[in-house]
Structure 1
Amino acid sequence: MDVDVTLEADIRRPRAEVAAFASDPANVPAWYANIRSVEVLTPGPLEVGSRMRFVARFLGRTITYTYEVRELVPGERLVMATASGPFPMTTTYAFADLPTGSTRMTMRNHGSPSGFGAVAAPVMARAMERAMTKDLRRLTAVLEAR
């Protein structure tokens, strides 16, 4: 069974600022509650092929996984997929202007866990939705306080 969770947040900051902050791996621990650390594995600016190792706490377990950037349109879209980790997952960030000058950020996590993960997919999806809700609230708070 697949896991597929999509959430949105309207953030009262310009799109370029929201996208730059959210797409910068160095900022991830500031707004992802479950991410303990991020290590950028490839030199240079973020680009297609860049890799990052994440250490996270999820469902009471510490997990380590490596994401690879699969698509990057600065200011508009970032797509990362697991290159290694407990199960295949793709994370997408999309950024859109709102008429108010704010930004709508859409975050989607989807993947196909196998083994025990496949059996636990409904529980994982609910936990992922709770975590993503907290993360987007935290991102909004961090950016709107600037």
Structure 2
Amino acid sequence: MDIEVHRVIALPLRRVAAYAMDWRNDAVWTRGITRAELTVEAPGGGFGVGAEVRRSASFLGRRIDYVLRVLTHDPPDLLDMSSVAGPFAMRVTYRFAERPAGTLASIRVRSDASRFSGLTGALLTPLVRRAVAGDLRELEAKAR
């Protein structure tokens, strides 16, 4: 599965990106996430390249726990993370760009979660796309 969802958010770039890139907000705007915890700090301390965040989430009625490691942290433009623990390999990329109407927010998710859910990619992809689109709507509401 490889999906990317975009939404123009009528807020300044730095505000949207700072809110979305702060792991402490994960459970607020990402509706499936119930808990997020910084388990490994970046080599220089805090959140950045090398940091790891453990997330607990609910998807399709099942709880999943996974850890994402930060591969790229380039605020306010890019946050790229890859799973290092969990039921399936996953890569999540947040991109933000300034637009006349505000901020273009994009989330890309790449994974093979079909092993976890038992659904084929053809069935799973629209569910994940819909969930990510909902997350971007929540981001717009919560970043205000």
Matches of 1:32 and 1:56 in 2, distance apart? 9
Corresponding residue number in structure 1 for 2:71: 70
User: Residue 125 and residue 114 in structure 1: after superposition, are their counterparts in 2 closer, same or farther (change >3 A)?
Assistant: closer
Aligned alpha-carbon RMSD (Å): 1.6
Deviations 1:56-101 (A, max 9, x none): 000110000000001111100000010011111100000100123x
Deviations 1:98-144 (A, max 9, x none): 123x110111001234646575222221211111111111111122x
Corresponding residue number in structure 1 for 2:19: 21
1:105 aligns with 2:105: yes
Give the conservation status (yes or no) of the 8 Å contact 1:15–1:96: yes
Matches of 2:119 and 2:11 in 1, distance apart? 40
Matches of 2:114 and 2:10 in 1, distance apart? 39
Matches of 1:116 and 1:42 in 2, distance apart? 25
Corresponding residue number in structure 2 for 1:6: 4
Corresponding residue number in structure 2 for 1:87: 88
2:137 maps to a residue whose letter is R
Give the conservation status (yes or no) of the 8 Å contact 1:59–1:127: no
- Counting matched residue pairs gives 141
Unpaired segments ≥5 residues, structure 1: none
Matches of 1:5 and 1:121 in 2, distance apart? 11
| TM-score where L is the length of structure 2 | 0.91
Unpaired segments ≥5 residues, structure 2: none
Matches of 1:75 and 1:67 in 2, distance apart? 19
1:126 aligns with 2:126: yes
- SS of the residue corresponding to residue 40 of structure 2 reads coil
Give the conservation status (yes or no) of the 8 Å contact 1:112–1:118: no
| TM-score where L is the length of structure 1 | 0.89
Give the conservation status (yes or no) of the 8 Å contact 1:11–1:105: yes
1:55 maps to a residue whose letter is S
1:67 maps to a residue whose letter is L
Give the conservation status (yes or no) of the 8 Å contact 2:114–2:124: no
Using the aligned pairs only, state the percent identity: 34
